[in-house]
Amino acid sequence: MFPTTFPEPRLFSPGVDTPGLRWGLLAPGWIADLFVSAAHAHTDQRFVAVASRSAERASAFASKHGITRSYDSYEQLVDDPDVDVVYIAAPQSEHLALGQLAIAAGKHTLIEKPIATTPDEARILVAAARSAGVLLMEALWSRYLPQAAVVRALLDDGVLGEIRGVAADHGQAIPDYPRHRLHRRDLGGGALLDLGIYPVQLDSMVLGAPTSVTAIGGLLDTGVDAYSTLVLGHGGMVQSTLTTTLLVRTPSTAVIAGTEARIEMDGSFYMPTSFRVVGNDEHGSLVWNDPTGVTSMAGLSWEASALARFVGEGRTESPVHTLDETISILETLDEARRQLDAAG
């Protein structure tokens, strides 16, 4: 039966079974600036230390955000006994080494997406975290947004019927060619790892790991993937189509299609946004708007509260984005990149 109201799932709200943790930041940059600002404005989490290879950069970042300690080496920060959790915001080419450093120091660790550049690197990090008994989490903020919790509840309730596929896109016009990190293979660049991960993670959240991956697209002359379309098979009559590009800005919308109804997510679907449930007979429609008032990049705050809640619950991974799924998503992206590289 078509729903008349939306479920009210438990959100990752600050102060709700969520301890206030002391955070340290490795590699301040634009995403770190947004994350720290969001965490300080909308959560009980506080950054107490920041480290950069540049003492001046670390000091300037600390001054801007009211952080008491700044270091000019990553080792100093992870050895700080007053740091409970380390957030790694360096380019993905550095995630493996910095993740190992933080985990070896016994710190809970949040690593910007993608958690690593390959599935094998991710497996190394996961094995290290499990051995150390610390929480490891990929900073895939979309999973912790209010709309994601509502969508998961709708799927669990069977509102859409049998899911037949996901259609999603994410495209950004990335400037400064060829110096931008997404244009550089040595920094783990390319559209798929940085942008395509959003459509792929949505498909994974809804349908799990694909049974087949088919990718077509093109490369920049720097060797990174510039654009691609992925067709993911999930067995039976289930197929998803996902697109990504770093050449142009696209609507970045998404559809989850079922035999009874579909969810249409407005752009940008991976950020705080609205969506509607539409009956397949087109007569029923129900619109959800985020009631929290946390908009745009301030939505990064939800994953900070989520991590703290998981730590408070004694968890060593996210229950809504497990480490096994983190590896699985990288396997899908890796296979797509392999096909694009082979095609030249």
Contact call for residues 260 and 279 (beta carbons, < 8 A): yes
Label residue 283 by pLDDT band (50, 70, 90): confident
Label residue 211 by pLDDT band (50, 70, 90): very high
Q: Indicate the domain borders of the chain.
A: 22-142, 144-293+321-343
Q: pLDDT tens digits for 133-177?
A: 999 999 999 999 999 999 999 999 999 999 999 999 999 999 888
Per-residue model confidence (pLDDT) at position 115: 98
Q: How far is CA 172 from the centre of its chain?
A: 16
Q: pLDDT tens digits for 105-131?
A: 999 999 999 999 999 999 999 999 999
Say if residue 214's pLDDT is above 90. Answer: yes
Say which CATH superfamily domain 22-142 falls into. Answer: NAD(P)-binding Rossmann-like Domain (3.40.50.720)
Per-residue model confidence (pLDDT) at position 206: 98
Say if residue 282's pLDDT is above 80. Answer: no
pLDDT > 90: percent of the chain:
93
Hey, how many other C-beta atoms are within 10 angstroms of the C-beta on 75?
A: 11
Q: pLDDT tens digits for 3-20?
A: 889 998 889 998 878 999
Same fold for the pair 22-142 and 144-293+321-343: no
Per-residue model confidence (pLDDT) at position 54: 97
CATH architecture of the domain with residue range 144-293+321-343: 2-Layer Sandwich (3.30)
Look over the chain and give the mean of its residue pLDDT values, rounded to a whole number. 96
Q: pLDDT tens digits for 36-80?
A: 999 999 999 999 999 999 999 999 999 999 999 999 999 999 999
